[in-house]
Structure 1
Amino acid sequence: MSLYDEGHTIAGWTGVAIAAVGSSGVGLGVCTASLPAVVGGLVIVAVSALVTWLFHLSGWGKPPGVRPRDQWGMRVRDTRARQGHAACVACRLAGRGRSAVNAVPVAVAQGEVRAES
């Protein structure tokens, strides 16, 4: 059994359910040649991405990587979501999970090296 347990979260399942409705709307619009239905379905798919992102930031999504077995349940909320997850794209987009401790050094034109945060 895998130790990663990816996708078993409230954020993940809610996003997939909303995206399925949006995809159905796009498919219906394509079959009926209805541009408003296609656009409406695409808007719903975009909303699903935003809802998933907001749920993840509020603690209902889990960070990538290995987690202890007691945190595998869907109803277990992530208490580290406020600080952000180091390797998480969603947290980086929200400005979380990046500090001077894990900053990447950047080479400056004069040859100096400084930490970018």
Structure 2
Amino acid sequence: MSAHGNVDLGHTAAGWLGTSIAVAGFATVGVSMVAVSVAGIILGVAVVSLAAVVTWILHLAGWGKPSGPRPADQWDWKVRDLSAEGGHVNCLGCRMAGRRGPVTTPSGAQPPLTSAVVIGPDGL
């Protein structure tokens, strides 16, 4: 048991790889600042940006995790999140990719199925 109790700390393949790339980018920026190398600073910032993109792509591929706690059997970082394909509720990364997640009412219950309504360019 850890000092934080028995909780899901979000260890995922996306988190580990993204953090590793970001640390390398920040280290590059730090060394470049000491060496007064503008090119090195730009390279480090590019690597940090790459970390964000790699983490986002892995999250969308199911190697991240949704917000909130997960069941204990899914805590291992090698467990793939199969719900990522449809998107996670209230997830900025999923919304940026056009995935909205399951639609729920404010009470959390699934809304009744209705026929789809197509709205044209004039709003009708």
| TM-score, length basis structure 2 | 0.76
Quote the residue 1:24 is aligned against.
27
* 4+ residue runs over 4 A deviation: none
Q: Secondary structure at the match of 1:80?
A: helix
CA RMSD of aligned residues (A): 1.7
CA positional deviation for 1:33: 0.5
Q: Secondary structure at the match of 2:39?
A: helix
Quote the residue 1:37 is aligned against.
40
CA contact (8 A) 1:29 1:37 kept: yes
Choose 36-45 or 67-76, whichever is displaced more. Answer: 67-76
- Return 5+ residue gaps in structure 1 as ranges: 105-117
Task: Map 1:36-115 onto structure 2 (within 5 A).
Answer: 36-98=39-101, 101-102=103-104
Counterpart Cα distance in 2 of 1:32 and 1:103: 55
CA positional deviation for 1:70: 0.6
Counterpart Cα distance in 2 of 1:7 and 1:50: 18
Counterpart Cα distance in 1 of 2:38 and 2:45: 11
User: Aligned letter for 1:37?
Assistant: G
Deviations 1:16-61 (A, max 9, x none): 0000110011001100100000000000000000000000000000
Aligned length, in residue pairs: 102
- Return 5+ residue gaps in structure 2 as ranges: 107-124
Alpha-carbon spacing, 1:98–1:84, altered in 2? closer, same or farther (3 Å): closer
CA contact (8 A) 1:7 1:13 kept: no
User: Aligned letter for 1:43?
Assistant: A
Quote the residue 2:18 is aligned against.
15
User: Aligned letter for 1:61?
Assistant: G
Structure 1 or 2: larger strand share? 1
CA positional deviation for 1:13: 0.6
CA positional deviation for 1:2: 4.7
CA positional deviation for 1:88: 1.1
| TM-score, length basis structure 1 | 0.80
